[in-house]
Structure formats: C-alpha cells, structure tokens
Amino acid sequence: MPDQSEAGKRGYLHEDFRLFHLKDTRAQKLDYHYHEFDKLILLLGGKVSYVVEGVTYFLRPWDVLLVQHNMIHRPIIDPAEPYERVVVWLGRDWLRSRSDPGEGLDTCFETARQRGFHLLRFGAERRLHYMQLFQQLEQSLHSGEFGASRMADTLCQQLLISVNRDILRDRTAQEQRDSYRVDPKMDEILHYIAEHLTEELTVDTLAGRFYLSRYYLMHRFKAVTGYTVHQYISQKRLLRAGELIRGGMPVMKAAEQAGFSEYSTFLRAFQNTFHMSPREFR
C-alpha cells in the first residue's frame, strides 16, 4: 500500500457541488483516502462494501452512505457484478451559504460522525422519493434550459433537506445490525485518538491503556483502518491543523492545538501531505 501520508487525498472540488453517475464493469481497487468536501454515495447496483473510519458497511441498492470531509474510507468492490452508483460532492462553503441559523445542511454529516454510523437505508416509499430527487438533480445539471443552474442548486438543497430529516429521525444502528461490522476495541481506540490528539499517542501508550499486546494492536489496527497507528494519528493531526488554519488560527498555534510538539516536524509533514505550505493552504 502506498504511503498514506502522501496518497491519502483524492479529488478536488472547484464548484459548489458535483454529481457523478458512474458504472464500472472492470475490477478496480482503491486505497484508503479522504476528501476536503462532504459526499453522498447512492448505490444503484453491484456488490460493494465501504470501510469508513474502521466500520465496514455492506451496501444494498438504494442505500445512501454519508462520508464527511476528512473521513478516511475506501470501497471494497466485488468484480463479479457491475458497480453503479451516483456520487454527489458537496462544497463546504456552499453548504454553509445555503444553511439557516440552527439548521445547517451539513447536520446530517455531523450527526453521522457523532453516532459513528453513516448509512441510510429506506423502505419502498422513500426509495422512490430519493430516486426522483437524484434523477431530477442529474437532469438539471445536464440541462441547457432557462434557470437550469438555479434549479439544480434548489434540487441539491432539497436532497440534503430530505437526508437531514431522515437521519434526524429515530433511526439507530440497532435496527440494521446486518448492514455493518465493527471491531469494538478498535472503534474504542479510534474514538480515543480523536478525543486526545493533543496528548502523547504511541503504540505503547495505546497498547497499555487498552490492555493489548503491542503486536496485536499494530496488526489489528492496520487491518481495520488501512493505516499504521503512527500514520493514522499523524494524518488526523494534520487534518485537524488544516481545519484550524482555515478557520483563521495562526499556524504555530494550530500545530500545537493539533498535537504537534515540534513545529519543524509539523511543517515537513504538512507540506508532504498537502503539497503546499500552511499559509498557502489558508
């Protein structure tokens, strides 16, 4: 597997949002990666599972998967069947600009992250509703008619309103036990890392805290996340620093707040990952 610190990011979004309707008939293998935008994945056909931050989701046609920015994920595709899906990339500035006070259109992504469950699965009535929304959005994006761009913008907002309403209803992972698999111990460790990035996080400290052998932790962590412990922690710290820098925090303070004790180490890792200086990034 390539060095994740260099190969982690995929895709650039220069528009407010983009829609891709894709169908692959040949086998492909994607490494773990992340995006700086949020995205929705609607499965239309094929056998595919998605690993999102260590949790594996077994998708069925018309499932919608929510992947928040900076979440490490990858698909595992069975080449026996064509893999068809609709993917919507959503710019974070656009999401903010279309949100109302107290009702952010990105609430669905944040709620999924907090729950640690990123899948929406519907009954027949809601499937029809989403089928129509995705089709109308795709048609508007390819239309040359008057007002097509504004119509697409409105339809994308409608899609997100529906996703938010559905995810905020009392739908829990308990209802869909057959749709995902999680390693409870690794999940606990991932949550601990996310909440303690500013503290000392090494294989030895984590192994001691969670009563695991050093070898088992390294082996199992790589199997679940696709990263070594060190790579994963470094990546999460860099992504945290990037968020703080974009929010206006001075670079050195952002590095410290993200858990980097040495600025030179942070600067080298940042440039290797983002291929630009922190000031250029901001």
9 confidence band (pLDDT: 50, 70, 90): low
pLDDT in tens, 159-172: 999 999 999 886 55
Residue 3: the pLDDT is: 36
209: pLDDT strictly greater than 70: yes
Residues 6+ apart with CB under 8 A from 210: 185, 188, 189, 192, 217
Are 161 and 275 members of one domain?
A: no
142: pLDDT strictly greater than 70: yes
pLDDT in tens, 76-131: 898 888 999 999 999 999 999 999 999 999 999 999 998 889 999 988 888 999 99
The domain boundary residue, chosen from 155, 180, 205: 180
Strand (E) or helix (H) holding 44? strand 38-45
pLDDT in tens, 227-240: 899 989 998 898 88
Residue 103: the pLDDT is: 95
CA pair distance 53, 111, nearest whole angstrom: 15
CATH of the domain at 18: 2.60.120.280
Are 11 and 66 members of one domain?
A: yes
Are 12 and 106 members of one domain?
A: yes
Structure tokens at 245: 């820098």
Residue 282: the pLDDT is: 73
Are 139 and 44 members of one domain?
A: yes
Are 166 and 187 members of one domain?
A: no
Residue located via tokens 């992250």: 113
The domain boundary residue, chosen from 157, 180, 203: 180
Domain count, the chain: 2
Are 28 and 97 members of one domain?
A: yes
14: pLDDT strictly greater than 60: yes
Are 147 and 213 members of one domain?
A: no
Q: Give the predicted TM-score (pTM) of the model.
A: 0.81
269 confidence band (pLDDT: 50, 70, 90): confident
Strand partners, 50: 57, 75
Helix 107-115 / helix 148-168 crossing angle, nearest 10 deg: 30
Are 127 and 205 members of one domain?
A: no
Are 116 and 193 members of one domain?
A: no
Task: Read off the DSSP letter of residue 103.
Answer: B
278 confidence band (pLDDT: 50, 70, 90): confident
Task: Report the candidate in 239, 182, 229 with the shortest Cα–Cα distance to residue 55.
Answer: 182
What average pLDDT does the chain have?
87
Are 52 and 167 members of one domain?
A: yes
Q: Which domain holds residue 253?
A: 183-281
Are 214 and 263 members of one domain?
A: yes
CA pair distance 99, 109, nearest whole angstrom: 14
